[in-house]
Amino acid sequence: MPAAGTINADKFVGPDRDLTPLITSLDLSQPRRLRLGIGVYHLVAGTEIGNLHLEGQGSRTVISKRGGKGPYLLKSTGKAVRLPALAKDITIGDTMVEFTNRPGCDVGDLLFFTDPKAGGFSLARPLYREGFSCLVERIQGRRVWLSSRAVASLERRRVHIARIDPTEPSIENLAIASGTSGALHVKYSRDVYLKNVSVEAAAPIGIYLDRNFDFRVINTTIENRGSGSGSDYGLAIGNSQNGHVTDGKFFGRRHGISVGGSDFPDSMPNRDIVIQKAAIANDKKSLVHAADLHGNCEGIRYRDCDISGGASLSGRDNGYYSCRISALASGVCVVGAEVLGGKMTVQECALTTAVDPSKTYRGIIDFGGNSIAIGPHTTVPCRIEVVGSEVIATNQSRKGRVLEVRNRGASVPIDVLVHSCIVKSNGLGSFLSLRNHGRREWSGKVSVDEVISNFPLAEVSGHSK
């Protein structure tokens, strides 16, 4: 085993440049830095990198798959350790929790609080469970003070508490050619750092950040041609909190970036993630959107991104800001789906489409034209805001509308605000179309003002209040 400190890979690999024996010989429970030279290295799929810091020399450093059957070429996997039960329920805003026994954690540890009840966060899907993660700030006896306020109320009889013994991997300045395997799966990890990484794959997922806390993805490029599966994502972020994706290019056959997750008892919502200055695209023949948000998302922001192939807006309190969004094949630019509630925002964006979405009963921004975007699963009062945005739409018809909102069974108010928008088109019927299925009037406040159009355009059609 090489001595501690920075390891120069070329001193230890053989003529075949296979990294597998070297990496598997390392103690990966502690941070180690492995520096790669210029050229192509090989790895067996499923190689665990733990807390390894992989550093290359830029695009001329390539890690290529050689054999193995793992779904990912590289993986970094932490551990979840179950802690004792709570003595009291958790209420939103709490900063202290009390255990029935000694808590089994230390200051600085990462804790997961999750409710395994199906649909606890959103009824849109059973796998959308409630929960949150945070750090331990102070301990006194059976009491533990948290680094941030609880963002969810959880019953002590149901809540599962786990101490996460995380890995903290980083990868910088290299390319990964992973073939039919994904490049990287990072699970139960903290402070993940990916910078100047380039991935080429034909797999269900290029890179998967799975139940992570505080991650950074900087100037990373993923080109995932996909496997013909129901995933085929470039970057997948699942059940993770506190993250930033900055710069880079992300292509997946179906979704360039997807924020969602998997079906596990500790699958908490995604929260407080910013994706900015990224180029996101997909294959339009997939008939889905390039930038994806599932219904288990809260506080997710796409900022200043170039999105080719449409974007979805789901969950609670999510939005697109200063983005340039071109339509998916149906002509829709923003797809509402699995709306829980809160504020759903399209602000200072430029939307372009050359296909008339009204042919499939949709709007250019569409909340339920031919789907149940807003329905019984929408249990939190909702406010849809389209502000300061420009819409450029060609090949449209007088049946068309910029914003289609249909309430298909929600009993909470659905407010709609349209303000200071510009529409350039050959013709549309209205900016906003409202339909309240089962009622004769709209159940919420509606405001449309300062809409500038190059043709006569009705402000509101359908059910207005």
Q: List the domains of the chain with CATH numbers.
A: 79-165 (2.40.30.180), 170-462 (2.160.20)
Geometric angle at alpha carbon 64, from 212 and 40, rounded to 5°: 120
User: Are β-strands 221-224 and 249-252 bridged in parallel, bridged antiparallel, or unpaired?
Assistant: parallel
Instruction: Give this prediction's pTM.
Output: 0.96
Asked whether 257 and 267 are in contact (CB, 8 A), the reply is no
14 contacts: CB under 8 Å, gap ≥ 6: none
Give the dihedral of Cα atoms 385, 389, 391, 397; nearest 10 deg.
30
88 contacts: CB under 8 Å, gap ≥ 6: 97, 98, 156
> In what helix (H) or strand (E) does residue 73 lie, and over which residues does it extend?
strand 72-77
pLDDT of residue 440: 72
Asked whether 170 and 197 are in contact (CB, 8 A), the reply is no
Asked whether 104 and 83 are in contact (CB, 8 A), the reply is yes
Cα gap 45→199, rounded to integer Å: 15
Assigned token pair, 131: 């929960």
SS3 306: strand
Residuewise pLDDT in 10s, the chain (465 residues):
565 679 999 999 999 999 999 999 999 998 999 999 999 999 999 999 999 999 999 999 999 999 988 899 999 999 999 999 999 999 999 999 999 999 999 999 999 999 999 999 999 999 999 999 999 999 999 999 999 999 999 999 999 999 999 999 999 999 999 999 999 999 999 999 999 999 999 999 999 999 999 999 999 999 999 998 889 999 999 999 999 999 999 999 999 999 999 999 999 999 999 999 999 999 999 999 999 999 999 999 999 999 999 999 999 999 999 999 999 999 999 999 999 999 999 999 999 999 999 999 999 999 999 899 999 999 999 999 999 999 999 999 999 999 999 999 999 999 999 999 999 999 899 999 999 987 778 889 999 999 999 988 888 887 654
